[in-house]
């Protein structure tokens, strides 16, 4: 019932920046925690960042802390992932996810809805 669409991926050189967007639609009258995950070729999907409904609480994986920033604009029904100082190991398909309720999970199994993903490629 809730649909998520990621955008903003692309090719960037190491040290560069990208901003990913995730537009959510459907039951936008409800409160959702939002998360970003990524999956590199041959690897499992891993947690990147998460944010609560109000935007006042955020969590980050250690691998991206200090480089990535998650934010949201509920008036625009959009969550963002600003990625700075990108490294080749950041190369992956990035997915956004939504969970109904006040909790902000870091585990992919705790999310209810997923987007289709957007490719981020960082060259050395």
Predicted pLDDT of residue 103: 83
Residue with tokens 């957007």: 118
Predicted pLDDT of residue 115: 97
Predicted pLDDT of residue 18: 98
The answer to whether the CB of 108 falls within 8 A of the CB of 85 is: no
Predicted pLDDT of residue 28: 72
The answer to whether the CB of 19 falls within 8 A of the CB of 83 is: yes
pLDDT in tens, 23-67: 999 877 778 899 999 999 999 999 999 999 989 999 999 999 999
Neighbouring CB atoms inside 10 A of 23's CB total 15
């Amino acid at each position: 019932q809730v649909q998520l669409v990621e955008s903003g991926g692309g090719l960037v050189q190491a040290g560069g920046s990208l901003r990913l967007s995730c537009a959510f639609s459907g039951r936008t009258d409800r409160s959702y925690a939002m998360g970003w995950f990524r999956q590199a070729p041959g690897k499992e999907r891993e947690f990147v960042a998460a944010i609560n409904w109000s935007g006042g609480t955020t969590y980050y994986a250690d691998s991206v802390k200090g480089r990535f920033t998650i934010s949201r604009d509920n008036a625009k029904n959009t969550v963002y992932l600003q990625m700075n100082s990108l490294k080749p190991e950041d190369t992956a398909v990035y997915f956004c996810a939504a969970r109904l309720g006040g909790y902000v999970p870091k585990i992919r199994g705790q999310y209810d809805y997923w987007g289709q993903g957007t490719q981020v490629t960082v060259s050395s």
